[in-house]
Chain A
Amino acid sequence: VGTGWSDVEQIKIRHLDPSVDDAQFVLASDGDPEAFGELYDRHAETLYRYAARRLGPQPAEDVVAETFLVAYRKRRRFDQSRRTALPWLYGILTNEIAQHRRTERTRYRTLARTLGEQSVEGPADQVAAMVTAQAVSGPLATALSQLASRDRDVLLLVAWSGLTYAEVADALRIPIGTVRSRLSRARRTIRGAFPELAKYADAEEA
């Protein structure tokens, strides 16, 4: 083409940039609400799965939708230096879930019953594994229902969301030391439901 390209001018080529930080979506949503849709598209599935584990599918739909609406209303409080908004969203979601505590406890108790009642069929080794899983899941669900909600929040954020301790602290706006203490307390309760896990409790205390 030679020098012919000196007069070539890009007029309007705009491709979506998948590497853009969440902060930019939050920032852009101030003038462009649809930018918030990008934030939704990125994180809604993750939040929904977490919420569905805790509350079940239908309540999860409600709390996740409400989480994004609350996030939009509070978007100017989002720390723009954060690359990801996920901990922030988890924090809001946790608050929303807190309004469904009774639903959550009922869910765990129901699970504790149903998990113990399910019949198991299949090859012997699979049956053995599933029986073991059922034997564990029932008491585990019961133990979760007995946790203090603050402790349960920390425990499940660590175990199910994949957030780091620091991110959990960020999400819940508590010191990281508090995260550790709440997690420790929650795990002690869980282990209490399983005497065979006592050795881990001992190690934890040590």
Chain B
Amino acid sequence: MEDLKLIKDLGTALDPDGPAPHERMRARVMTGVTSAAGPQLGWRQGPGRRPIVWAVPLVAAAAVVGIGVTVAGPLGNQPSGAGITAPRVDPGAPDAGRSEINLDARTILLAAAEQAGKERSTVPAAGSFIYSRFTGVGWESDQKGKNGTLSWVHDAWYSVDGKKSGMGWHTQDGFVPDTYTEEFGTCPGKVIQNVQKQGFGDPYCDGPGYISDLPTDAAGALKYLRQPRAWQSWSPFLDGQPSSAAQRGTDDDVFNNSWMLLRGHQLPPASQAAIFKALAMLPGMQVVPKAKAADGRIGVAVGRVSEPADDGSAVRTELIFGRKDRTIIGLRTILNDPARGIKDRVHTSMAVAEKVVVSTVGLRPDGSRVKPIDD
């Protein structure tokens, strides 16, 4: 079979020097596929989008993290003296810089709504807890100029009926900013010190974990999502004060509140679907066809970009959906800071690991327990 071997060798010699230009090719394919699919699915293509505005991008990002870690650079309209440090970036992010509008955000969100609506409706028992875990990776720098990468695991227990104290448990490894042991925004008056590699807990005061009264229509859900939520007062950058009225109810709040509700709470399927439909009503959504969550899963992301701050920096916050079933799998923030030469860097990335109902606060699905914080 010498002749076939010669041909195979020739084929090897003719192999292209590098990999296929997948970013370009995939975008081309998916644009064609999506445009071909839209009418068949009965989904209306969204209107032209304009850039959106984020008033307090990294404060919002910190709220999304839900742990109030020392974050942020002078990227938004944070109050002065709020413990702001230099921005965080992930210089090694392999999939950064892929913001392309080549899928329709509305289509993705409506698909997510459709999927959510198919979920089996279950009402957890009163007295139980919604347990959720998410993992995260990020990069931070502090006011002393130090920086580094960090990873964390965050467990949360929300009281189903809101009548018991919930709890958050946070374990982190990696870089510790010098301001990290400052007061964390949790329930008012609660001061928690970080214990590196050992974890710390904080009470969750924003129950109930099962929200039965969230509207089931898009307009109603949008109105609900514009209302201030407890976690909006957690950020230490707001000096422990709730967001001002001017900062409430923005599209950014809608985006962040959606993530917080979806990742840690249980909602009736119709309400969950309504959240995605509400998000589909927001202008300025972008799509990232291939976004990696903190656990390595690849999804398709729908994101919003902040209005550039005075120094030109801006953050895009992305909700990451499973590429097959459109289930929400994570969230990440992407930093653009031209003054520092930072372009499309992954700033933080989180992934929803699991969500179950447990009988006791502090109980994990693997049987381990965390001692509740006595508040």
A52 to B323, CA, bound (A): 28
A158 to B92, CA, bound (A): 40
What's the nearest-Cβ distance from chain A to residue B9, in Å? 7
Are the CB atoms of A159 and B8 closer together than 8 Å?
yes
Are the CB atoms of B36 and A73 closer together than 8 Å?
yes
A73 to B29, CA, bound (A): 11
Q: Is there a chain A Cβ closer than 8 Å to B297's Cβ?
A: yes
Contact among B28, B34, B356, B363 with A11 in the assembled complex (CB-CB below 8 Å): B356
> Which secondary structure dominates chain B's binding surface?
mixed
Contact among A4, A25, A40, A65 with B360 in the assembled complex (CB-CB below 8 Å): A4
With A133-B9, A160-B11 as known contacts, state yes or no: A49 contacts B289, CB within 8 Å: no
Scan B342-366; emit 1 where CB is below 8 A from any A CB, else 0: 0000000000001111111001010
Scan A41-52; emit 1 where CB is below 8 A from any B CB, else 0: 100110011001
Q: Is there a chain A Cβ closer than 8 Å to B93's Cβ?
A: no
The chain A residue sitting closest to B323, CB to CB, is A34
Are the CB atoms of A191 and B3 closer together than 8 Å?
yes
Are the CB atoms of B363 and A16 closer together than 8 Å?
no
Are the CB atoms of B29 and A69 closer together than 8 Å?
yes
A45 to B22, CA, bound (A): 8
Interface residues on B, range: 35 or more
Are the CB atoms of A64 and B25 closer together than 8 Å?
yes
Are the CB atoms of A155 and B16 closer together than 8 Å?
no
A16 to B324, CA, bound (A): 8
A35 to B199, CA, bound (A): 39
Q: Which residues in chain B, 1-51, are within 8 Å of chain A measured between CB atoms?
A: 1-4, 6-11, 13-16, 19-22, 24-26, 28-30, 32-34, 36-37, 41
Are the CB atoms of B354 and A53 closer together than 8 Å?
no
Are the CB atoms of A159 and B4 closer together than 8 Å?
yes
Are the CB atoms of A49 and B322 closer together than 8 Å?
no
Q: Is there a chain A Cβ closer than 8 Å to B99's Cβ?
A: no
By a CB distance below 8 angstroms, the chain B residues around A73 are 36
With A7-B359, A52-B16, A159-B8 as known contacts, state yes or no: A38 contacts B266, CB within 8 Å: no
With A141-B10, A160-B11 as known contacts, state yes or no: A194 contacts B322, CB within 8 Å: no
Q: Which residues in chain B, 100-159, are within 8 Å of chain A measured between CB atoms?
A: 103, 107-108, 111, 119, 122, 124-125, 128, 130
The chain A residue sitting closest to B125, CB to CB, is A7
> Which secondary structure dominates chain A's binding surface?
helix
Q: Is there a chain A Cβ closer than 8 Å to B179's Cβ?
A: no
Of residues A11, A158, A187, A197, which shows the largest number of chain B Cβ atoms within 10 Å of its Cβ? A11
With A37-B289, A53-B14, A68-B29 as known contacts, state yes or no: A12 contacts B122, CB within 8 Å: no
> A residues bordering B, Cβ < 8 Å?
1, 4, 7-16, 25, 28-29, 31-38, 40-41, 44-45, 48-49, 52-53, 57, 60-61, 64-65, 68-69, 72-73, 111, 133, 136-137, 140-141, 144, 155-156, 158-160, 187, 190-191, 194, 197, 200
**Other CB < 8 Å A-B pairs besides A11-B122, A32-B324, 19 of them?**
A1-B363, A4-B359, A4-B360, A8-B358, A25-B324, A33-B36, A35-B324, A37-B289, A37-B300, A37-B323, A52-B15, A61-B20, A61-B25, A68-B33, A69-B32, A159-B4, A160-B8, A187-B3, A200-B1
A158 to B4, CA, bound (A): 9
A40 to B327, CA, bound (A): 20
Are the CB atoms of A8 and B365 closer together than 8 Å?
yes
Are the CB atoms of B2 and A111 closer together than 8 Å?
no
The chain B residue sitting closest to A136, CB to CB, is B6
A133 to B5, CA, bound (A): 12
What's the nearest-Cβ distance from chain B to residue A115, in Å? 8
Are the CB atoms of B322 and A14 closer together than 8 Å?
yes
Scan B200-225; emit 1 where CB is below 8 A from any A CB, else 0: 00000000000000000000000000
Are the CB atoms of A155 and B7 closer together than 8 Å?
yes
A86 to B32, CA, bound (A): 20
By a CB distance below 8 angstroms, the chain A residues around B358 are 4, 7-8
Are the CB atoms of A111 and B14 closer together than 8 Å?
yes
What's the nearest-Cβ distance from chain A to residue B257, in Å? 18
Scan B325-347; emit 1 where CB is below 8 A from any A CB, else 0: 11101000000000000000000
Are the CB atoms of A32 and B111 closer together than 8 Å?
yes
Q: Is there a chain A Cβ closer than 8 Å to B189's Cβ?
A: no
What's the nearest-Cβ distance from chain A to residue B160, in Å? 11
Are the CB atoms of B14 and A52 closer together than 8 Å?
yes
With A31-B41, A133-B9, A187-B3 as known contacts, state yes or no: A61 contacts B119, CB within 8 Å: no
By a CB distance below 8 angstroms, the chain A residues around B20 are 44-45, 48-49, 52, 60-61, 64
A34 to B300, CA, bound (A): 8
A61 to B23, CA, bound (A): 11
A12 to B128, CA, bound (A): 17
With A14-B322, A34-B300, A69-B32 as known contacts, state yes or no: A61 contacts B21, CB within 8 Å: yes
